[in-house]
C-alpha cells in the first residue's frame, strides 16, 4: 500500500519510450506516472488529462492542468507548466500556499522570433498584397519594397523572444534598440538599451517596432494613438506578446490613413479577434491566430521536455528548480 508520504510525479508530457526512460532515470527512484499521449506531438498545444485517482496522490505535476481543477490535488507541492505564461495559476486561490510553480520560459523564443521575422519581411516585400493578387489571378506590381539592411528595430521586451528576434535582425544588417524595465541589464544582440521611460525618444527612429511584452497594467495599450503618431509612415509594427499592448482602434486608424506601412499581429485585443473587427479587412495588416508560440516546431517541444527533465532531476534531489516563478515561504 502506498505510503502517504511517498512523492508521486504525474507526467503529462507526450513522450516516446526513450524520453520516458530519461525521465525515470532523472527521478532517481521517485514514483512517476506517465499519462501523456505521444499522438499530441506537433499539435498547436498539448492537453493534460490526469486520471481522477492520481489527482489525490500527485505531489508534482508536469503539464498545464485546468486551473479550476488545482484544488483537486491536495498533496500538490510542485507544478511544472509546458507554457511560458502562467498568469492563470498565479491568480488568488488557484494554487495552495505551499505549491511551487515553474514554467517553460526559454522554450518558445526561437519559434516566436522566427514568426515575427517572417511577418516583418513579408510586409517589407509586399507579400500579403501579392498573395491576394494571386488569389484574384491579378498580375500587378505593388510598388516600392523595403529592406532590413540598415534599418532600425526597436525591440520592446528583451527577454528570450526579443533577444532572439534581435539576433535575426542583426544577421540581416539591422540596428537594434532594446526597451526593458531595467535598462542597466543587457540582453543579447541589443546594440543600445533604454528603459520604458525613454520609449518616446526611440520610437521616431524605428523602422520596425517588435513587441513581446506580457500583459500588465504598465503595458496595457503601450502603443496607443499618441505613440503610433510618433512612428515613420514607412514603419512596421509587430506584436507577438500580448494583444492588449496595442490599442486596436488606434492601430486601425493609423493603418487605414497610411500613417504606417503595416502591422503583423499574432496576438490581438480581444482574442480571438471578432469577425467584425475592421483589422481583418485592412490590407496593411497581417494577422495570424496566436500560433507563433505553439508547439508546431519540433525544437520547441524538445526544449519544453528538456526544461521539465532538468527540473524532475532537481525536484528528486531537493535542489532549486529552473524557471521557478512562485516560491514557497
Count of all residues that appear for the chain in the document? 329
Q: Which of 5, 88, 20, 70 is nearest to 309 (CA)?
A: 20
Q: What does each C-alpha distance from 41 to 19, 20, 296, 307 come to in angstroms?
A: 13, 14, 8, 17
Q: What does each C-alpha distance from 189 to 36, 163, 207 come to in angstroms?
A: 37, 6, 17
The verdict on whether 271 is a catalytic residue reads yes
Q: What does each C-alpha distance from 57 to 5, 6, 51, 125, 232 come to in angstroms?
A: 10, 9, 11, 56, 58
Tell me which DSSP letter residue 245 carries. Answer: G
The verdict on whether 6 is a catalytic residue reads no
Q: Please count the other Cβ atoms lying within 10 Å of the Cβ belonging to residue 278.
A: 13
Give the three-class secondary structure for 147: coil
Give the integer Cα–Cα distance in Å for 162 and 151: 17
Task: Tell me which of 6, 25, 271, 302 is the catalytic residue.
Answer: 271
- DSSP structure string for 288-314: --S-TTSS-SHHHHHHHHHHHHHHHHH
Task: Tell me which of 100, 164, 180, 290 is the catalytic residue.
Answer: 290
Task: Tell me which of 115, 180, 242, 303 is the catalytic residue.
Answer: 242
Question: How do 100-102 and 60-62 pair as beta strands?
Answer: unpaired
The verdict on whether 242 is a catalytic residue reads yes
Catalytic residues: 242, 271, 290
Amino acid at each position: 500500500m502506498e505510503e502517504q508520504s511517498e512523492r508521486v510525479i504525474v507526467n503529462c508530457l507526450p513522450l516516446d519510450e526513450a524520453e520516458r526512460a530519461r525521465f525515470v532515470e532523472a527521478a532517481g527512484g521517485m514514483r512517476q506516472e506517465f499519462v501523456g499521449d505521444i499522438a499530441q506531438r506537433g499539435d498547436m498545444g498539448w492537453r493534460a488529462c490526469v486520471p481522477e485517482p492520481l489527482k489525490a496522490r500527485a505531489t508534482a505535476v508536469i503539464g498545464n492542468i485546468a486551473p479550476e481543477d488545482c484544488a483537486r490535488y491536495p498533496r500538490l507541492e510542485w507544478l511544472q507548466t509546458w507554457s511560458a505564461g502562467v498568469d492563470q495559476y498565479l491568480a488568488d486561490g488557484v494554487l495552495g500556499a505551499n505549491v511551487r510553480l515553474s514554467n517553460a520560459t526559454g522554450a518558445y523564443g526561437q519559434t516566436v522570433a522566427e514568426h515575427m521575422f517572417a511577418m516583418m519581411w513579408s510586409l517589407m516585400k509586399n507579400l500579403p498584397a501579392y498573395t491576394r493578387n494571386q488569389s484574384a489571378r491579378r498580375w500587378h506590381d505593388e510598388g516600392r519594397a523595403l529592406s532590413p539592411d540598415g534599418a532600425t528595430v526597436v525591440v520592446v521586451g528583451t527577454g528570450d523572444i526579443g533577444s532572439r528576434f534581435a539576433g535575426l535582425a542583426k544577421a540581416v544588417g539591422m540596428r537594434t534598440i532594446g526597451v526593458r524595465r531595467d535598462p542597466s541589464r543587457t540582453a543579447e544582440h541589443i546594440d543600445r538599451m533604454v528603459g520604458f521611460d525613454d520609449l518616446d525618444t526611440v520610437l521616431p527612429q524605428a523602422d520596425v517596432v517588435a513587441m513581446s511584452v506580457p500583459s500588465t497594467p504598465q503595458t496595457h495599450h503601450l502603443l496607443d494613438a499618441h505613440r503610433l503618431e510618433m512612428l515613420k509612415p514607412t514603419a512596421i509594427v509587430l506584436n507577438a506578446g500580448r494583444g492588449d499592448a496595442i490599442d486596436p482602434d488606434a492601430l486601425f486608424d493609423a493603418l487605414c490613413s497610411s500613417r504606417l506601412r503595416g502591422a503583423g499581429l499574432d496576438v490581438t485585443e480581444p482574442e480571438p479577434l471578432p469577425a467584425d473587427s475592421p483589422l481583418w479587412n485592412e490590407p496593411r495588416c497581417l494577422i495570424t491566430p496566436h500560433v507563433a508560440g505553439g508547439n508546431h516546431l519540433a525544437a520547441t517541444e524538445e526544449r519544453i521536455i528538456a526544461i521539465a527533465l532538468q527540473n524532475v532531476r532537481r525536484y528528486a534531489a531537493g535542489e532549486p528548480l529552473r524557471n521557478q516563478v512562485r516560491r514557497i515561504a
